[in-house]
Each structure stands twice: as C-alpha cells, then as structure tokens.
C-alpha cells in the first residue's frame, strides 16, 4: 500500500521509491481541476486509505479528501492570510496567528510544537514567507528548514540562504546557496535567481565559493557599474571571498554612492555614523542618509529621522524627524512606526492624537517591537481593557523590557486582566528590579515587607528600597527612612532616617515630611549636621 505519492510537472507519479507514469486522462483531469502540477507535492495516505485500480480514481479521491484541505486551496489560503481571514488548516492557522500576534521568543516555542505536525512543504514555505514579510528571519529559517526535511527543493534552499544572509550567518548562507546550485546547476531557474540577487544587491551570494565572482565584480566595478561597486563593497565589508577590509569596502561604497546608488549611500552614511573603516562624522552621515532617503530608501529615512530628533550633525528638529519617521513607517520600518506612535502619544511637534499613536504602535508591535508592545499595553490599560493590556505587556516582558515586566507584575498583583497571583507578581517584579527599574524595585520591596508572594523579609525589603531610593524614588526614600527609624531589617540610625526623609520631602512626599518633623525634635545638632552633610553628598553624586 503506497504511503506517499508525488506528482511532477511531466506527469510522473511516485509511490515510495517506485515511479509510475500517469495516464493522459488522469493528467488532464488533474490539470482541469486546478491541481497544480508545477510543484512536487507530498500527498499523504493513511493505512486506512482505499486501494485504487487506476490513477484517475486515486486522483479523484485525493481531490476530495486531501486537496480541499491543503494543495487545492494553497492560493486561497495565502489570500486568506493577506486579508486577515482564517487559513485552512489548524497548523496553518496557528502559524498565521503567531506571525501576527506573539513575540519571537514565544513563537519559537510554538513553532517547535507546530512545525513537526505540519507535513505539507508548500504550507511550510508559505509560513516562511509570512515571517520573512514580517521581518522575523530566524522564524522564517525554521519553517524553511522544516520544509527541506520533507522535500529538499532548490527554491527553499534559496529562501533559506536569504534568511541566513540577513541574519549575518555567513557559513550557513554559503551552505544553503551551495545546496541551491547543486540542485539547479544551470538553466532558467538559476538565471532567474541570479537576476533577483543582482536586483536586490546580493550578487555576492551567487557564487560564495567561487573567486571568479570577485574578479567579475571588480572588472565591472572598475568599468563604472555602480551596482557592481556596491556589491564589491559588500564583499569586502562582510569578508565574502576576500579578507574583510573596511577601507576597501568604504572605497567601493563611495564610488557607488557618488553615482547615486541609494543602498551604497545608506551604507556609507551608516559607516560614517558608526565610524567603521572611516572616521566618525555626523555631518557626512547626514549627507549620505539624506541622499538615500530622498530616493525613498526606508532604512535611510529612519536613520535620518533619528539624526534630526537628537540633533546629531544638524540642529535638532522634531518636525523634520516626524516627517522622515512617517515616510519610513509607511514602508514598514518598525522602529519608525514606534517613534511615530510616540510622537502622537506625547504630542511632540504633532497634534496629540491617541488614535494615531495606537495605530502606529500596533503596526510596530505586530512586527515584534517590544517598546511598542509595552506602550500599546499602556494605552489599553488607560481605557480599562485589561485583558488586551496584559496581552501586550506579556509580549514585551518576554522580550526583556523592564518597564513591561513591571507593568505585567502590577496586573498580577492587582488581578487586572488576569487572576490575582502574588507569585507571578514577584516573578515579574524581580525581573524588572534586577534590570534597575526603580518602580519595580519599590514594589518588590513592598512584597517582601508585607510577605505577599514571598516570606516576609525585612532585610530584603531594605535592600530593594535602598536600590530604588538611590535612583530618586520618593516613596522608596520615605520607606527606607522608616526602616532606619524603626530598626527593621537594619540597625536603627536616626541620621540615615533623617537623610532619606528629607530627600523624599524634596520630591513632595507628604508622609516623609511628617516623619522628618517628628524625628527632628529628637535629634542633636551634631546628628542634624551630619544628616545635612550626607544629603549634600547624595545630591552631588546624583548630579554627576
């Protein structure tokens, strides 16, 4: 009983290791019923599948029981993904949801569960394409690798190589490209691949293992071909086929940039920006970013916006920053979308517009931008949609954003959008506190003080109140003063108590004022003088 069949464009039918030729009637029937013979497709059978006397009956059975759920609706499924409708299989649908909604860290875990269950290589390639569009190169590579396990096709190796190249994994890129050329040693498919690489400035991938490529690029570059000059620059920059040499990279990028190659202009701006292979120079970075940005290159538009926002190499100009952020955001640059959302959220040189802020935060958040996810959570919290707030806080928290970890902890502490859970609150407060988030340090100290989610421990409370207090957290300063005053978790010390009360008072803490005034009556002049000295010392250190 055949377990798996494969159909090829020439009309060959494979069953396990045996090959059969489909009769003309079956071939025509498959073609007329929109069964794509252009791709090899694994057709799954189970042990309970019926046995057929002829291929036509088998093909009809396949269309009814298999193609409607998989191959037959491939285009429809892709359209469903693009339009936001539900795709056609459970695994397919889950991958689409992950692609839009959850963080990369969570997605890796979920894909590890989903991909082994998905046995259709076409679906897996489409999943890889989704993640590619969303900028998740690592996740795309996982889907492509799984597809290759099922059916090692040249096109999949090609896409995998592009993923690895964008990730900077040179050895893996070369390995995947070599596999591609092994499967497609010549012909139209190779020529089409080489044309695509050339158009996207990735000629250096065409023959990573051939020095002839370097010779060809150099010859064309020396004859003035700007794209070859750019590609030669990339070969020197990354060390593809030649020893890495930033000076040579700058030389060829400069030649291409002078001829108007936008990518070369952007890269040259980046090199001036970071001082790689050339002295750091903000003004030159601005000059080249501007040239590339005016040609519509999104990455250059975003970097130019940053220069305007922070006044690097040019007078600070928030309006110009917003202008360029907008252009880059429209082209899908997540950092620009976040910064544009932030501008509308704060009303910095644009009209305050929370709807526009949420719109751009959402676009960036769906691409995995962690701070956009946190800020979107804040916006949902403000309108009392706690479940959505928890959803976005969680995504950002999983990516290590301290502020989001503190926000998520607060949701667990108060039971907002999730069941109240002090243990989870402690977990997330701890993560944020370890990263230096002052509010989280204060809140974690409070958990130790009251014994919520952890055994009561005044020493730990003092430790975390101290960390927050040293960062200027007024309530933590007042609390720390009380611990010194009462001698809880630390030795009694009226001088230290007065110091922290006084510092909290300067931040407007009313309770600290009461405690300070009460303590002052009990202190000697020498003690008060020492407290004032410590206060001056603290303020001086804080200013530094």
User: Does residue 442 form part of some domain?
Assistant: yes
Q: What does the alpha-carbon distance between residue 320 and residue 310 come to, in Å, rounded to a whole number?
A: 11
User: Exposure string (b/e) for 430-467, b if CB count within 10 Å is 16 or more?
Assistant: bbbbeeebbbbbbbbbbbbbeeebbeeebebbbbbbbb
Q: What does the alpha-carbon distance between residue 162 and residue 208 come to, in Å, rounded to a whole number?
A: 13
What is the reported pLDDT for 213? Answer: 64
What single string gives the DSSP state of each residue in 120-136?
-HHHHHHHHHHHHHTT-
DSSP 8-state secondary structure symbol assigned to residue 44: E
Is the domain of 33 the same as that of 101? no
Dihedral through CA 526, CA 527, CA 529, CA 534, nearest 10?
A: 140
User: Exposure string (b/e) for 381-416, b if CB count within 10 Å is 16 or more?
Assistant: beeeebeebbbbbbbbbbbebbbbbbbbbbbbbeee
Q: Which of 422, 456, 471 is the last residue of a domain?
A: 471
Q: Which residue has the tokens 């003309």?
A: 24
pTM for this predicted structure: 0.64
What is the reported pLDDT for 356? Answer: 94
What is the reported pLDDT for 24? Answer: 56
Is the domain of 462 the same as that of 388? yes
What single string gives the DSSP state of each residue in 310-363?
HTSSS---HHHHHHHHHHHHHTT-HHHHHHHHHHHHHTSSS---HHHHHHHHHH
Is the domain of 100 the same as that of 112? yes
Q: What ranges in 456-524 are assigned the alpha helix state H? A: 458-470, 474-486, 494-506, 510-520
Q: Which two tokens stand for residue 100?
A: 């839009």
Characterize the bridge pairing of strands 18-21 and 12-15. antiparallel
User: Does residue 233 form part of some domain?
Assistant: no
Q: Which of 227, 306, 239, 241 minimizes the C-alpha distance to 277?
A: 239
Is the domain of 465 the same as that of 490? no
User: Does residue 432 form part of some domain?
Assistant: yes
DSSP 8-state secondary structure symbol assigned to residue 23: P
Please count the structural domains in the chain: 4
Is the domain of 134 the same as that of 122? yes
Residue 431 near residue 135 (C-beta atoms within 8 A) = no
User: Does residue 276 form part of some domain?
Assistant: no
User: Does residue 323 form part of some domain?
Assistant: no
Is the domain of 397 the same as that of 487? no
Q: What does the alpha-carbon distance between residue 130 and residue 139 come to, in Å, rounded to a whole number?
A: 9
Is the domain of 375 the same as that of 464? yes
Residue 16, φ and ψ in degrees, nearest 5: 55, -125
Q: What ranges in 415-457 are assigned the alpha helix state H? A: 422-434, 438-450
What is the reported pLDDT for 89? Answer: 56
User: Exposure string (b/e) for 481-490, b if CB count within 10 Å is 16 or more?
Assistant: bbbbbeeebb
What is the reported pLDDT for 29? Answer: 57
What is the reported pLDDT for 51? Answer: 46
Is the domain of 374 the same as that of 449? yes
What is the reported pLDDT for 108? Answer: 54
What is the reported pLDDT for 115? Answer: 60
Q: Which of 92, 124, 151 is the last residue of a domain?
A: 151
Q: What does the alpha-carbon distance between residue 409 and residue 423 come to, in Å, rounded to a whole number?
A: 9
What residues contact residue 540 under an 8 Å CB cut-off, 6+ apart? none
Q: Which of 448, 471, 494 is the last residue of a domain?
A: 471
Q: What does the alpha-carbon distance between residue 264 and residue 357 come to, in Å, rounded to a whole number?
A: 33
Q: What does the alpha-carbon distance between residue 496 and residue 534 come to, in Å, rounded to a whole number?
A: 8
Is the domain of 374 the same as that of 462? yes
**Residue 21 half-sphere exposure toward CB, CA atoms < 13 A:** 3
User: Does residue 313 form part of some domain?
Assistant: no
What is the reported pLDDT for 241? Answer: 72
Q: Which of 386, 384, 455, 382 minimizes the C-alpha distance to 422?
A: 455
- Whole-angstrom CA distances from 44 to 33, 65, 69, 150, 156 are 19, 10, 12, 12, 20
Q: What does the alpha-carbon distance between residue 370 and residue 348 come to, in Å, rounded to a whole number?
A: 21
What is the reported pLDDT for 173? Answer: 82
Q: Which of 110, 168, 126 minimizes the C-alpha distance to 39?
A: 126
Is the domain of 467 the same as that of 477? no
User: Exposure string (b/e) for 8-42, b if CB count within 10 Å is 16 or more?
Assistant: eeebebbbeeeeeebeeebbebbeeeebbbebebb
Q: What does the alpha-carbon distance between residue 282 and residue 316 come to, in Å, rounded to a whole number?
A: 13
Q: Which of 275, 282, 266, 278 minimizes the C-alpha distance to 314?
A: 282
Could you tell me how many residues make up the chain?
Answer: 544
Positive/negative CA dihedral, 116, 122, 125, 126: negative
What is the reported pLDDT for 201? Answer: 67
**Tens of each residue's pLDDT in the chain, 544 residues:** 232 333 333 333 433 333 344 455 555 555 555 443 333 333 333 333 444 445 555 555 554 544 333 333 334 434 444 444 444 456 655 666 555 555 555 555 555 556 666 666 677 787 777 777 666 677 788 788 878 888 888 888 888 888 888 777 777 887 888 777 777 655 566 667 766 776 666 766 665 445 666 777 788 889 998 888 988 898 888 777 788 899 999 999 999 999 999 999 999 999 999 998 899 999 999 999 999 999 999 999 999 999 999 999 999 999 999 999 999 999 989 999 999 999 999 998 788 999 999 999 999 998 889 999 999 999 999 999 999 999 999 999 998 999 999 999 999 999 999 999 999 999 999 999 999 999 999 999 999 999 999 999 999 999 999 999 999 999 999 999 999 999 999 999 999 999 999 999 999 999 999 999 999 999 999 999 999 999 999 999 888 7
User: Does residue 328 form part of some domain?
Assistant: no
Query: How close are the terminal C-alpha atoms of the chain, in Å?
Result: 79
User: Does residue 91 form part of some domain?
Assistant: yes
**Domain assignment of residue 457, given as a range:** 368-471
Q: What does the alpha-carbon distance between residue 362 and residue 375 come to, in Å, rounded to a whole number?
A: 9
Distance between alpha carbon 293 and the CA centroid of its chain, in Å? 23
Q: Which two tokens stand for residue 363?
A: 């676009």
Is the domain of 424 the same as that of 507? no
Is the domain of 378 the same as that of 467? yes
Q: Which of 173, 174, 119 minimizes the C-alpha distance to 147?
A: 119
């Amino acid at each position: 009983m055949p377990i798996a069949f494969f159909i090829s464009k020439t009309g060959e039918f494979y069953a396990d290791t045996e090959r059969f030729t489909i009769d003309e009637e079956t071939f025509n029937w498959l073609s007329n019923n929109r069964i794509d013979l252009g791709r090899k497709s694994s057709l799954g059978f189970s042990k309970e599948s019926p046995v057929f006397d002829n291929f036509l009956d088998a093909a009809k059975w396949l269309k009814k029981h298999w193609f409607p759920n998989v191959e037959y609706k491939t285009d429809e499924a892709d359209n469903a993904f693009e339009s936001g409708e539900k795709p056609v299989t459970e695994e397919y649908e889950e991958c689409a949801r992950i692609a839009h909604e959850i963080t990369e860290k969570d997605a890796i875990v979920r894909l590890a569960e989903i991909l082994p269950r998905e046995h259709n290589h076409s679906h897996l390639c489409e999943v890889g394409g989704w993640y590619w569009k969303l900028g998740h190169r690592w996740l795309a590579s996982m889907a492509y690798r799984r597809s290759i396990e099922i059916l090692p096709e040249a096109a999949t190796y090609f896409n995998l190589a592009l993923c690895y190249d964008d990730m900077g994994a040179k050895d893996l890129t070369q390995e995947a490209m070599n596999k591609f050329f092994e499967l497609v040693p010549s012909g139209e498919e190779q020529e089409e691949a080489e044309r695509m690489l050339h158009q996207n400035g990735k000629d250096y991938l065409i023959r990573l293992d051939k020095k002839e490529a370097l010779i060809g690029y150099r010859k064309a570059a020396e004859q003035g071909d700007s794209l070859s000059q750019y590609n030669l620059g990339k070969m020197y920059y990354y060390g593809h086929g030649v020893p890495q040499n930033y000076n040579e990279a700058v030389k060829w990028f400069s030649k291409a940039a002078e001829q108007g190659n936008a990518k070369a202009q952007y890269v040259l701006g980046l090199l001036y920006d970071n001082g790689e292979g050339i002295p750091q120079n903000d003004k030159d970075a601005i000059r080249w970013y501007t040239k590339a940005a005016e040609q519509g290159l999104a990455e250059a538009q975003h970097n130019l916006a940053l220069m305007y926002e922070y006044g690097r190499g040019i007078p600070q100009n928030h309006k110009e920053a917003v202008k360029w952020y907008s252009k880059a955001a429209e082209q899908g640059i997540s950092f620009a979308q976040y910064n544009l959302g932030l501008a509308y959220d704060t009303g910095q040189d644009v009209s305050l517009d929370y709807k526009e802020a949420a719109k751009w935060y959402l676009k960036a958040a769906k691409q995995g931008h962690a701070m956009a996810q946190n800020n979107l959570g804040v916006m949902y919290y403000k309108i009392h949609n706690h479940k959505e707030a928890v959803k976005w806080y969680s995504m950002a928290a999983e990516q290590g954003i301290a502020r989001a970890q503190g926000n998520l902890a607060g949701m667990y502490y108060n039971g907002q959008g999730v069941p109240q859970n002090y243990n989870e609150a402690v977990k997330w407060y701890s993560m944020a506190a370890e990263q230096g988030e002052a509010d989280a340090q204060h809140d974690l100290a409070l958990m130790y003080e009251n014994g919520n989610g952890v055994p009561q421990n005044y020493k730990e409370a003092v430790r975390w109140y101290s960390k927050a207090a040293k960062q200027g957290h007024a309530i933590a300063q007042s609390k720390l003063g009380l611990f010194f005053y009462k001698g809880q978790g630390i030795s009694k010390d009226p001088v230290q108590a007065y110091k922290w009360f006084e510092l909290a008072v300067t931040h407007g803490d009313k309770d600290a004022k009461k405690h300070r005034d009460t303590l002052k009556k009990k202190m000697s002049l020498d003690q008060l003088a020492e407290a004032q000295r410590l206060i001056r010392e603290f303020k001086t250190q804080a200013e530094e």
